Amino acid sequence: MASGFDDIFAELTNINAEQVLLSERVKLLEEQLAAGGSGSGEADGEKERPVGAPVRWDELDAEERAVLWPKFVRWVIWVADRYEMTTDQLPRQCWWKHGAVVEELTALWTSHESAYASGEDGGSAPYLWQDALARAVERMGRFWLGSCRNGQHRARHRDAPWGEDAEYLSLLLAAGGPDPDGDAPGPPDEDRPDSDEDGSK
């Protein structure tokens, strides 16, 4: 008979597995930097990207994007074919139009590079990567794809992006952050009533 702790132990096992994978990635990157990864460049002066280095698409210049995007796309196509993904798991017609899906796949791509880097791991990193893939595919379908199914792309409905709403940003910044006692911040002073909780001024 299963106890109520089985789910907790399973989740702790997953967290531990992720921690091991991250530790291996950090170790690999540190070794590459120590071996001269930070100072070695190609003939034209460009730095070579270390295997498994994180990619932030919004921070890349046009040249970096032109080099990395085709590699990434080929990897996505490979992983979709290799794992026989359905259009419900990864819509062929529009996966790149969903920012969160691109971020999930980018993290999978760079961690795949690290997990399968030559000679750095005795086998646990590839196994942990397989587990990360399964969880990421579930997240993409459940949270990030919206109603894109069966070859139809439907943009997710949202009001204006939060980052483009200056009034909203002003409100957040005026809130001043969380209360040291753990209470949520209240509205800015000018929006607060003049009376105390008991009704007195």
Q: How far is it between the farthest Cα atoms of the chain? A: 75
Q: Which domain holds residue 17?
A: 6-144
102: in domain: yes
**Phi/psi at 150 (nearest 5 deg)?**
50, 45
> Over 70: is that where the pLDDT of 50 sits?
yes
Residue 108 domain-assigned (yes or no): yes
Note whether residue 160 is domain-resident: no
Residue 83 tokens, joined: 């794992």
pLDDT tens across 65-120, in order? 999 999 999 999 999 999 998 887 888 787 888 888 899 999 999 999 988 887 65
Establish if 187 belongs to a structural domain.
no
φ, ψ of residue 119 in degrees (nearest 5): 70, 10
Quick check: 125 pLDDT over 80? yes
Q: Classify residue 161: in a domain, yes or no.
A: no
Write out pLDDT tens, residues 161-189.
667 778 877 877 887 777 777 665 555 55
Q: Residues 139, 143, 145, 149: is their CA dihedral positive or negative?
A: positive
DSSP one-letter code for 98: -
Q: Which of 55-69, 116-130, 136-150 has the lowest mean pLDDT?
A: 136-150
Chain centroid offset of residue 167 CA: 28
Q: How many residues does the chain have?
A: 201
Residue 129 has pLDDT above 70, yes or no: yes
Give a yes or no: residue 175 inside a domain: no
Q: Is the residue at 98 inside a domain?
A: yes
Total tally of structural domains belonging to the chain: 1
Residue range 13-36, pLDDT digits in tens:
767 667 766 666 676 667 667 665
**Residue 87: inside a domain, yes or no?**
yes
